[in-house]
Chain A
Amino acid sequence: MAETGHGEVSKSYITLDSSLESVDQAEEIVLKTARELGFQEDDEGSIGMAVREGVVNAVVHGNRYSSKKRIHLGIEATPSQLVITIGDEGEGFDLSSLPDPLAAENLMRQSGRGIMLIRAFMDEFDLHPRHGGGTEIRIAKNLAGRS
């Protein structure tokens, strides 16, 4: 992916298998772009974590490991921001149905923290139906001093 200059936006898009190997691949691809943009190590950690959580959700909950369904990964780099979209081909998801992992009665649950972590470590988060079916999240991290 080309480095961005003044006002340049670069975009890329790939599809991945619905497997846990795709989690590593997605993280590697996104972090390569993050480094090219100049993100610092701390932000790289946050971005990597958010991508991993997003792809795991897409593989496990969206596509349910189906070999017939793909993960759709979009990466958009601007001079001030890295925007990532992660889509699945599942049945759709209602965000309001997710129990609050910070509520006292849910604190000791084994699962259910992925989206909360994405929101905590990224600057922007949005979840919506994916064009073509399934669910898509759009997450973004601002480059320090350029937001």
Chain B
Amino acid sequence: MSVKLSTRQVGDVTVIDAAGRITLGEGASAFREMIRDLAAKGEKKIVLNLNEVSYIDSSGIGELVSGFTTVTNHGGQLKLVGLSKRVKDLLQVTKLYTVFEVFEEEADAVRTFA
């Protein structure tokens, strides 16, 4: 199963709901395209909801990093919510917990945007 991505607005914040697996190939590519599209459209406040993501591999982690860089370079912010224990462990092991702002609840992530 690949990843299923959809977006919705919470005020001026774009929330990406991801479900499935973000892995090398289709899943990672779809995520990359979505982030690029949003950044190109000028979206600067983006929350990535990973609540329904069952698996991320190193390529998926790479796309999260790439997405973060893309959004940041466009003057925006990308924040993460709903991480499973496995994904949290991945971010810890890769030291990316120091890079991403991670929240348990979407409302908290949305609230912190300037």
Q: A20 to B21: give the CA distance in the assembly, Å.
A: 14
Q: Which size bracket describes the interface of A in this complex? A: 20 to 34
User: Complex: how many Å from CA A107 to CA B57?
Assistant: 16
From B8-16, B75-83, B88-96, B105-113, the one touching the partner chain is B88-96
- Interface flags for A104-146 (1: CB within 8 Å of B; 0: not) read 0001111101101100110000000000000000000000000
Is B57 within 8 A of A108, CB to CB? Answer: no
Contact with B along A3-41 (1 / 0, CB 8 A): 000000000000000001001000000000000000000
- A/B pair count, beta carbons within 8 Å: 48
Q: Which residues of B contact A20 (CB under 8 A)?
A: 24-25
Q: Which residues in B have their C-beta under 8 angstroms from that of A74?
A: none
Closest to B62 in A: A110
Sort chain B's interface into a size bin: 20 to 34
- Determine which of A107, A109, A111, A117 lies in contact with B93 in the assembled complex, contact meaning CB atoms within 8 Å: A117
Inter-chain contact A53/B94, CB cutoff 8 Å: no
Instruction: Determine the chain A residues whose CB is within 8 A of the CB of B25 once the complex forms.
Output: 20
Q: Contacts A102-B94, A107-B96 hold; do A53 and B58 have CB atoms under 8 A apart?
A: yes
Is the CB–CB distance between A108 and B99 below 8 Å?
Answer: yes
User: With A20-B25, A117-B93 in contact, is A108–B65 under 8 Å at CB?
Assistant: yes
Q: Is the CB of B99 within 8 A of A117?
A: no
Q: Which of A56, A102, A116 contacts B57 (CB 8 A)?
A: A56
Q: Can you offer 17 A-B residue contacts whose CB atoms are under 8 A?
A: A20-B24, A20-B25, A49-B55, A52-B23, A52-B57, A56-B57, A56-B59, A101-B94, A107-B95, A108-B68, A109-B62, A111-B59, A111-B62, A113-B58, A116-B93, A116-B94, A121-B93
Closest 6 CB pairs of A and B: A110-B62, A113-B58, A120-B93, A114-B58, A110-B66, A20-B25
Residues of A in contact with B (beta carbons under 8 Å apart): 20, 23, 45, 49, 52-53, 56, 60, 101-102, 107-111, 113-114, 116-117, 120-121
Contacts A52-B23, A101-B94, A117-B93 known; list 9 others, CB within 8 Å.
A45-B86, A60-B24, A102-B94, A102-B95, A109-B65, A110-B63, A113-B58, A116-B94, A120-B93
